[in-house]
A and B are shown apart, each in its own frame.
Chain A
Amino acid sequence: QKEVEQNSGPLSVPEGAIASLNCTYSDRVSQSFFWYRQYSGKSPELIMSIYSNGDKEDGRFTAQLNKASQYVSLLIRDSQPSDSATYLCAVRGGSYIPTFGRGTSLIVHP
């Protein structure tokens, strides 16, 4: 059973701080890793994808991947109240069937 684990939270950070979201996965042959943001009552929105070890930066977002440790994280710099949402980690392996984590709820308070 391929699993993707996330801390459900809520993770509460003050406005302007760095929010760090973590995800671990069990399938060692996983190839593609994604972070989706889902606002309450809305559908998931892709914000980052990462395929190789290391960091990938896009604006205020940085995705970090460590395949040896089977760990992927998302850093949000200068967090804003509008970043308050549930963040879903998704992993796609060789079968191309994606597995999603249950999500981490992030609350950015002014």
Chain B
Amino acid sequence: KAGVTQTPRYLIKTRGQQVTLSCSPISGHRSVSWYQQTPGQGLQFLFEYFSETQRNKGNFPGRFSGRQFSNSRSEMNVSTLELGDSALYLCASSLGAGEAEAFFGQGTRLTVV
């Protein structure tokens, strides 16, 4: 059974640019959550999508947005990148919304220069 797939694995962007990250959940999983992990702040919840609808949102500015497609794949977009957006972005999938057990992808390492 394939795990959670995130693309790309590594990304370097310039301040002010925008970026789109992709996540394909485990087959059959309908919920996708996104997290930002930094050494200073740890793992922080960005948002959760279920059945193409955003179910929950963490405390991040509106520059961070996402969407989910009918096949449960999800994308996360960050506009007007700032140096502080440099982080590991992790996607986690679970069977249902608010599901307790989530499985993480390998993450996308974003570096903003």
Contact = CB atoms under 8 A, between A and B. Distances in A.
Given A42-B106, A43-B90, A44-B90, A97 B56 contact: yes
Give the interface SS of chain B, mostly helix, strand, loop or mixed.
strand
Contacts of A46: 101-103
Interface residues of B, number: 20
Interface size class of A (residues with CB under 8 A): 20 to 34
Contacts of B107: 43
A44 B104 contact: yes
Given A98-B45, A100-B42, A100-B44, A49 B100 contact: yes
Interface centre among B42, B48, B58, B106 (most CB of A within 10 A): B42
A102 interface: yes
A97 B45 contact: yes
B105 interface: yes
Interface of A: 32, 34, 42-46, 49, 51, 88, 90, 92, 95-103
